[in-house]
Structure 1
Amino acid sequence: MTIRIGTAGWSLYRAGEAFPAEGTVLERYAARLNAVEINTSFYRPHQRKTYERWAASTPEDFRFAVKVPQAITHERRLVGADDLLARFLEETDGLGAKRGPLLIQLPPSLAFEAERVGAFLASWRDRTDAPTVLEPRHASWFEDQADDLLAAHHVARVAADPAVVPSAAEPGGWRKLIYHRLHGSPVMYASAYESEALDALTARLSDEAKSVETWCVFDNTRFGAATWNALALREIPLS
């Protein structure tokens, strides 16, 4: 059973007392949680040696998910981005075996178009066999055609909260990897999840992880709730 629990970024905002006092922020974070989602890569590139340093400073079983640059997803909108993709993959190769899923988050305005998506995913898979998850945010993505295309390229669809449509709360696409992104509800990026929600989430993750690697990333980071939610989830006994 593999369940990876972490937050979007490794800030210890309002939660520093829950982590060891010594070490860098990442080292302190990795002492309590077994995964993190690198979001800064969405806004700017990092040198390969930076990824190498991050990998070297964490335990052997720690894993990094990495968010694909917005230059690929939001600016070029999945078209003509081979140069940017090659750079991103070369840089993140610095994580070595600690590189986990690569996260493709799409802008809410990007509707599903089979030709555009198929060409992008084919190019993606020509360059990497890395585990990949995609978070669409337009309702057109939650139909069978989109699901089948993702599955054909071994790309898992994120299970998100809040969900743009009910099916967006459920995993989709390739079913050999499950990736939850919890943005906070009712107020995105701000609201904490209460204990009842975390208990239900634990039961769900335990069931999912019996057959596939399962990730749960808290993105309700604005006021530090993500860190406390991740720590609380780690403490709930698995069923």
Structure 2
Amino acid sequence: MTRTTPSLHIGTAGWGLPRAVAEAFPGDGALLERYARVLGCTEINTTFSRTHRADTFERWAMQTPTGFRFSVKLPKAFTHVARLKVPPREVGAFVSSLAGLGERLAVLLVQLPPSLGFDPEVARDFFRSVRAEYPGAVVCEPRHPTWFTAVAERLLVEQGIGRVVADPPKPAGAGEPGGWLGERGDGQGAVVYCRWHGSPRMYWSAYDDDWLEARARELLNWPATTQVWCIFDNTAAGAAADDALRLAARMARLSA
């Protein structure tokens, strides 16, 4: 009997295909087309550092199958330069620029700099601006200890913002899901978003089989209505795509 499992989205930050795994992504077409035939999602990171034309997002959507999903990282101009003190019109302009992704846009990612502490007024105003423009899932990857407090947790829940599960888990608490996890806090109807950066060497190291097996078993315990995202960001040496394939294989085996 097939067990009931959460909705799984496994992919990488970007869609680079290193030579070592190229044969696992066969066929003709652009890299994104080949990638999207095998993996079901990707995280667009280039929006962090530059602006894209509207037709770029349209082209990416057209290169992927109907069920494929994108998450999009918010610009560093919002998170690292303005440090969340962003006029609502700028938030609206960015969200509007993503319209070409259509229904394939599934998550907005807010990654904060390690130096940015929790300021409740600033955070509330920013997330309200985002929520006013985008009704879908929004997740935040904070990297300052002050975001891992009861006060910060309440604000994320209030604004409907999920907290990313990060590896390596820095600071303490970053390796556990938090923020909004559904109306009852049990994951029903929520997005659990994992960003795995590689360990011990961030962005470079591949994950071993035992680590992936343990994560797969943990993630399959979420309810069937939970959307579980697993994004491998250890792209510097090309480990991400292989890790995503290995995790997907484990998930399939354990779900059977």
Question: What TM-score range do you get, normalising by the shorter chain?
Answer: over 0.9
Q: What secondary structure is seen at the aligned counterpart in 2 of 1:208?
A: coil
Verify: 1:219 aligned to 2:233, yes or no.
yes
Q: Go from structure 1 to structure 2 and tell me whether the alpha carbon gap of 1:81 and 1:73 turns closer, same or farther (over 3 Å shift).
A: farther
Corresponding residue for residue 36 of structure 2: 30
C-alpha distance after superposition, 1:88-132 (max 9, x if no partner): 101112111000110000011000011110111112212221210
Could you tell me which runs of 5 or more consecutive residues in structure 2 were left unpaired when the two chains were aligned. 1-5, 182-189
Q: TM-score, normalised by structure 2?
A: 0.90
Instruction: Supply the RMSD in Å over aligned alpha carbons.
Output: 1.1
Verify: 1:233 aligned to 2:247, yes or no.
yes
Provide the rounded CA distance (Å) in 2 between the counterparts of 1:27 and 1:20: 10
Provide the rounded CA distance (Å) in 1 between the counterparts of 2:128 and 2:242: 39
Provide the rounded CA distance (Å) in 2 between the counterparts of 1:123 and 1:39: 21
Provide the rounded CA distance (Å) in 2 between the counterparts of 1:11 and 1:138: 30
Corresponding residue for residue 173 of structure 2: 167
Partner of residue 137 from structure 1, selected from 143, 148, 153: 143
Displacement of 1:209: 4.8
Given that residues 3 and 209 in structure 1 are in contact (C-alpha distance below 8 angstroms), is that contact kept between their aligned partners in structure 2?
Answer: no
Tell me whether 122-131 or 193-202 shows the greater mean CA deviation. 122-131
> Between Structure 1 and Structure 2, how many residues are aligned?
239
- The aligned runs of 1:169-184 (5 Å cut-off) are 169-175=175-181, 176-184=190-198
Could you tell me which runs of 5 or more consecutive residues in structure 1 were left unpaired when the two chains were aligned. none
Verify: 1:187 aligned to 2:173, yes or no.
no
Corresponding residue for residue 3 of structure 2: none
Corresponding letter in the other structure for 2:7: T
Corresponding residue for residue 9 of structure 1: 14
Q: What secondary structure is seen at the aligned counterpart in 2 of 1:215?
A: strand
Tell me whether 202-211 or 91-100 shows the greater mean CA deviation. 202-211
Corresponding residue for residue 64 of structure 1: 70
Corresponding residue for residue 126 of structure 2: 120
Provide the rounded CA distance (Å) in 2 between the counterparts of 1:80 and 1:52: 26
Given that residues 62 and 98 in structure 1 are in contact (C-alpha distance below 8 angstroms), is that contact kept between their aligned partners in structure 2?
Answer: yes
Corresponding residue for residue 201 of structure 1: 215
Corresponding letter in the other structure for 2:17: L
Given that residues 7 and 225 in structure 2 are in contact (C-alpha distance below 8 angstroms), is that contact kept between their aligned partners in structure 1?
Answer: no
Corresponding residue for residue 186 of structure 2: none
Corresponding letter in the other structure for 2:33: E
Q: What secondary structure is seen at the aligned counterpart in 2 of 1:156?
A: strand
Given that residues 138 and 161 in structure 2 are in contact (C-alpha distance below 8 angstroms), is that contact kept between their aligned partners in structure 1?
Answer: yes
Verify: 1:99 aligned to 2:105, yes or no.
yes
Given that residues 64 and 99 in structure 1 are in contact (C-alpha distance below 8 angstroms), is that contact kept between their aligned partners in structure 2?
Answer: yes
Tell me whether 118-127 or 211-220 shows the greater mean CA deviation. 118-127
Given that residues 49 and 76 in structure 2 are in contact (C-alpha distance below 8 angstroms), is that contact kept between their aligned partners in structure 1?
Answer: yes
Q: What secondary structure is seen at the aligned counterpart in 2 of 1:233?
A: helix
Provide the rounded CA distance (Å) in 2 between the counterparts of 1:11 and 1:46: 18
Q: What secondary structure is seen at the aligned counterpart in 1 of 2:58?
A: helix
Displacement of 1:19: 0.8
Provide the rounded CA distance (Å) in 2 between the counterparts of 1:63 and 1:71: 24
Provide the rounded CA distance (Å) in 2 between the counterparts of 1:78 and 1:224: 32
Corresponding residue for residue 95 of structure 2: 89
Provide the rounded CA distance (Å) in 1 between the counterparts of 2:210 and 2:67: 29
Given that residues 108 and 138 in structure 1 are in contact (C-alpha distance below 8 angstroms), is that contact kept between their aligned partners in structure 2?
Answer: yes
